[in-house]
Structure 1
Amino acid sequence: MPHTAFRWPIHQSVLPNGLRVVVSPDPSVPLAAVNLWYDVGARHEPPGKHGFAHLFEHLMFEGSAHVAKGEHFALIQACGGDAINASTNPDRTNYYQTVPSGQLELALWLEADRMGSLGLTQETLDNQRDVVKNERRQRYDNVPYGRWSEVMVGLAYPEGHPYAHSTIGSMAELDSASLADFTAFHDTYYAPDNAVLTVVGDVDPERVAELAERYFGRLEPRGSVPQPDAKPLPRQFGSPQRVTLTEDVPMPRIYLCHRGPAWGSPDAPAAELLTTVLGRGRGSRLYRTLVSERRLAQAESGFMAAWGLMHYPSMVMGACAPRVGIEPDAVVDAYFEVCDDAVRGGLEPEELDRARAMITADWFRELATVNSRADTLGQYATRFGDAEAVRNRIALLDAVTLDDIARVAAETFRDDNRIVLTYLPAASAAGTADEAEESAA
C-alpha cells in the first residue's frame, strides 16, 4: 500500500447512534474542512417523488430549530469561513464548509442542528420549489442540449431503475408532493446512522470526536434506512439504440453511451485508464482521429469519460460535434471505429503510462486542499465503509495490465452495448427533409 497515495493520517470512529466520524489532521494550514455525506441521492427516490434529494440540498439551508433562514451562510462567513455549499448526485448528498480551525465547533453545531431539527415549513418548501424550477429552466430546459443527460439515463436504464431519472427531478412530481411527504423523506434519510462526518485540517482527532459526540450524539438513529430495490443489469444493454432529437440548437451534436463498470468495482480502474487513452485531451485517440487527422469533428469535441455511478453498472459517455458540412453519421462511425480499434489491437504500453501519469497528477491536485480531501474521504467511507480504502487509489491503477484493459474494452465496446443520441437543429432538419422531397420528385 503506497504511502504516497494518501500521505495523511486517518482516524475513524463511530458514535453510538451510528454516525461515522473521519478525521485527517493536517497542521500545515490553520483551517478545518467539515464535510457531511448523507447516503441519499436521486436513486433513493420512490416513484412519484423524483427530485426530492436535490430539493433537500436547498431546503437544508432554510433554517433549523436554532438557526434562522440564511443564517448558516452568515455565521460561517462571519467567522472567516468559505466554501459553503452542497451538491446532490444519484448516489449521495453532501454538505460542506471550510472554517478557521478555531471555529470548528460552530460548523459542527450548525450541521448537527439541521440534521436533527430542520425547520421545514410550507413557506420554505414553496420558495425552494420555485428555486429548483428556475434552476431546471436555466440548466436543462432553456439551454441548447440541456436535457441530454436526462434523456440518456432514461435510455440507458430500464423504467423504474434507481438511475433511470435525473437528479433535478420532475417539476410536476415536486409540485404534487405535500409538506408531509418532504418531512417523511427527511426523517427517513437525514439521520446520523446514514451519514459520514469528515473533518480535515489543523484539528485534534480526540477533540473532534468529543465535539461530534456533544453535538450529534443526542440525535436518534433511524435503525433501518430503506434502500432501492433494483434487478441486476446485464453487462451490455442488449441491443444498440439510436435516438434523434430535433430542437432549437445551433449545430448538430452527438452523445454516445456504453454500459460500463460501477465506480469502486474491480474493473473501474481499467475503464478509467481506457477512457483516458481514448478520450481525454488533444493527445487522445478520439481527438487525433476525429479532429486532427480526419477533420470530422469540432475541436472541442471527441471526448470520452467513465461516469462515477457507484452502486449499479455505470456509463462510459462520449460526445462529438460534427464540423460544418459533415454528416453526424460519419462522426458516429469514426467514433466507433476508434473504440473497435482498441478492442482489436489493445493499447500501447506508452499510452497506458501516459494515462496513469495524468490520473495520478489529477489525484494529487485533488488532495491539495483540505475541503477536497474531506470530500474524498467521505466518498470512500460511504462507498466502502472504510475511509482507509482511499490509500488504495494509486495502487489499483498501477495494478491494471494491458490484458485487463483489453478485456474491459471487449466487454464495453460491443455492437449490442451502444446508445447514440443525436441532436439536430430544427432548421437543418427541415432543410434535409426538403432536399429529400426534391430528390424523390
Structure 2
Amino acid sequence: MPAAFPWPIHQTTLANGLRVVVAPDPSVPLAAVNLWYDVGARHEPPGKHGFAHLFEHLMFEGSAHVAKSEHFALIQACGGDAINASTNPDRTNYYQTVPSGRLELALWLEADRMGSLALTQETLDNQRDVVKNERRQRYDNVPYGRWTEVMVGLAYPEGHPYAHSTIGSMAELDSASLADFTEFHATYYAPDNAVLTVVGDVDPDNVVALAERYFGRLTARGSFPAPQPEPLPRQFGAPCAVTLAEDVPVPRAFLCHRGPAWGSADFPAAEILTTVLGRGRGSRLYRALVTDRRLAQAEGGFMAAWGLMHYPSMVMGACAPREGIAAEDVVAAYVEVCDEAAQGGVTAAELDRARAMLTADWLRELATVNSRADALGQYATRFGDAEHIRSRIELLDAVTEEDVLRVAAETFRADNRIVLTYLPEAAADAAPPEPAGTEDPADSADSADSAEEEDAA
C-alpha cells in the first residue's frame, strides 16, 4: 500500500449494483458514511436546469420511515456530525460522520431515502424557495457573485452538458412540476448508480452485511441516460473579452483557458502549472503583479485547474488592479506571465515546490475520515475502482518539466483565452470603448456550468 493512501480498501458490488467501498481505520472511533450518486448538473435536460441541486435539498425532506428534518435530528442525537450534501456538474453526494457503533443508523437512513423519498408539492415548493434564496445570497446579490456562471457560460457551446449553472435557473425551477422531479428521482437515484463509502473503525464484512440488509432489497434500474456531446477541440478557437459594468467596489478581471479534465493524463501537469503560476506569495503571478511591479492587489488573485471529470475542463484565474492602475494593464501583465510559462516552462525548483504543496494538500485531505470517504467515492465513481486513489502522489511525482511546458503551450494561447472584466458602473461610464477585435460572447462558446459545489445545508 503506497504511502499516498496507507489504508486497506475493500470493494464489493451487491447484486443490485450498489458498489460498497470500505477503508477500515481503527485509530478513531468514528465511521464516515458517504454516498455518491453519478448524477449532477450535466445530466439535466434542457428546461430543467437546477434539478440535481434541488434534489440534494429534497433528500432531507423525509422518506417512508423518516419525517422531515428527522435525518439531521437522529444523526445529531447519536453524536454524529458533518451531515450535509453537495452537488457539482458531475455528481451529487450525501454524507455524515457517526460514532462507529451507530453505523447501522446512518446506513438505514441513506437506504430509506434512496428507496422511498417523500416527494410532495409542499416539500417541493419549500425547497424550491430555499434554492432561489441561496442563488440570491451567493450569486445575484453579492459583488462579482455571478462571475463563474458568466465565465463558464462563455466556455462551452450551447447544449453542452456543462453549459448551465449548477445552482440552476429560477425560471426553470418555477416552471417545473412535481411529476418532473419524481421522474428525475426515478431515473437516477438507484443503487446501481451509486457508490457507498464507509471509512473508520469498522469491520468490512459487517459493513457489507449491513449494506445488504438495508440497500440489498432496493431494485436496480439497469441503465441511466448519459449525455453524449460532440468532442471539443483543445482550444476555444478564438479570443474573447467581455466587460461588465455592475455594482462592484473595485475593478476585477477573471481569465479562463480550456484545460484537461480531472482524471486525464495531463491534469497533474495542469495542477503543477497553476500552482507554480498562481498559488501563494511565492507564485510567479504574485511576484510579478504584486511584489515586483505593484500592479495588482494581494487579495483576489489566483490561478487553479478546475476539476470537471468528464470533458475538457478549465484553468481559471483572477487579478484585481491596485488603485490608479487600469484593469487592462493588470490583464496584460497576467498574460505575460502565462506566455513566459508557455515558452519556457517551469524550473526544477518550482516543480519541486508545487509537488510539495499538492502533496501536503493531499495528506491534509486524507487526515479526516469524512474527507477520505469523499475522495474514495470520487475515484470509485470516476474510474470504477477506488484503488486508483493510491496513484495520486505517484502521478504528481511522474510529471516532468517537459510535461508542464507542453501543457502550458497548449493552454496559454491567444485563441484559448477568455477575459471577463468587472468595472464599477461609474468607471465603466467613463471608460473608452473596447478595442476592435474584441469578440462578443455570443459569437464564441455560449454558456456553461460552474465547477462550484452547491451545499444543501
TM-score band w.r.t. shorter chain: over 0.9
CA–CA distance in structure 2, aligned partners of residues 153 and 165 of structure 1:
8
Q: Does residue 126 in structure 1 map to residue 134 in structure 2?
A: no
Equivalenced residues, count: 433
- Structure 1 length as normaliser, TM-score? 0.97
After TM superposition, list the pairs within 5 Å mapping 1:30-429 onto structure 2: 30-429=29-428
1:31 shift after superposition: 0.2
1:229 shift after superposition: 1.9
Residue identity in the other structure for 2:101 = G
Q: Could you report, residue by residue, the CA deviation over 1:365-390 in whole angstroms, capped at 9, with x for unpaired residues?
A: 10000000000000000000000000
The 3-state SS of whatever aligns with 1:388 is helix
Answer whether contact 1:290 1:302 (CA < 8 A) is retained. Answer: no
CA–CA distance in structure 2, aligned partners of residues 49 and 168 of structure 1:
11
| Cross-structure match for 2:447 | none
The 3-state SS of whatever aligns with 2:3 is helix
Q: Could you report, residue by residue, the CA deviation over 1:120-156 in whole angstroms, capped at 9, with x for unpaired residues?
A: 0000000000000100000000000011001111100
The 3-state SS of whatever aligns with 2:431 is helix
CA–CA distance in structure 1, aligned partners of residues 350 and 249 of structure 2:
35
- Structure 2 length as normaliser, TM-score? 0.94
Answer whether contact 1:20 1:197 (CA < 8 A) is retained. Answer: yes
Residue identity in the other structure for 1:304 = M
Divergent runs of 4+, >3 A: 431-434
1:429 shift after superposition: 1.4
The 3-state SS of whatever aligns with 1:53 is helix
Residue identity in the other structure for 1:296 = L
RMSD: 0.9
1:83 shift after superposition: 0.2
Residue identity in the other structure for 2:409 = A
Q: Could you report, residue by residue, the CA deviation over 1:84-122 in whole angstroms, capped at 9, with x for unpaired residues?
A: 000000000000000000000000000000000000000
1:303 shift after superposition: 1.2
1:302 shift after superposition: 3.0
| Cross-structure match for 2:430 | 431
Answer whether contact 1:34 1:107 (CA < 8 A) is retained. Answer: yes
CA–CA distance in structure 1, aligned partners of residues 13 and 432 of structure 2:
64
The 3-state SS of whatever aligns with 1:245 is strand
The 3-state SS of whatever aligns with 1:155 is coil
Q: Does residue 10 in structure 1 map to residue 17 in structure 2?
A: no
CA–CA distance in structure 2, aligned partners of residues 422 and 88 of structure 1:
28
1:176 shift after superposition: 0.4
Answer whether contact 1:366 1:372 (CA < 8 A) is retained. Answer: yes
Answer whether contact 1:45 1:53 (CA < 8 A) is retained. Answer: yes
Q: Could you report, residue by residue, the CA deviation over 1:236-273 in whole angstroms, capped at 9, with x for unpaired residues?
A: 00000001110011111110000000000000000000
The 3-state SS of whatever aligns with 1:3 is coil
Answer whether contact 1:291 1:302 (CA < 8 A) is retained. Answer: no
The 3-state SS of whatever aligns with 1:281 is coil
CA–CA distance in structure 2, aligned partners of residues 234 and 429 of structure 1:
34
Residue identity in the other structure for 2:245 = T
The 3-state SS of whatever aligns with 1:275 is helix
Answer whether contact 1:53 1:88 (CA < 8 A) is retained. Answer: yes
| Cross-structure match for 1:439 | none
Residue identity in the other structure for 1:286 = L
* Runs (5+) with no aligned partner, structure 1: 435-441
Q: Could you report, residue by residue, the CA deviation over 1:25-72 in whole angstroms, capped at 9, with x for unpaired residues?
A: 000000000000000000000000000000011000000000000000
Task: Return the structure number with greater helix share.
Answer: 1
CA–CA distance in structure 1, aligned partners of residues 411 and 303 of structure 2:
13
CA–CA distance in structure 1, aligned partners of residues 432 and 239 of structure 2:
25
CA–CA distance in structure 2, aligned partners of residues 125 and 286 of structure 1:
46
Residue identity in the other structure for 1:360 = T
Q: Larger RCO: Structure 1 or Structure 2 (Cα < 8 Å, ≥ 6 residues apart)?
A: 2
Residue identity in the other structure for 1:122 = Q
* Runs (5+) with no aligned partner, structure 2: 434-457
1:301 shift after superposition: 3.2
The 3-state SS of whatever aligns with 1:246 is strand
CA–CA distance in structure 2, aligned partners of residues 428 and 361 of structure 1:
42
Answer whether contact 1:11 1:24 (CA < 8 A) is retained. Answer: yes
CA–CA distance in structure 2, aligned partners of residues 128 and 274 of structure 1:
41
**Percent identical:** 83
- 221-230 or 204-213, which deviates more: 221-230
1:433 shift after superposition: 6.0
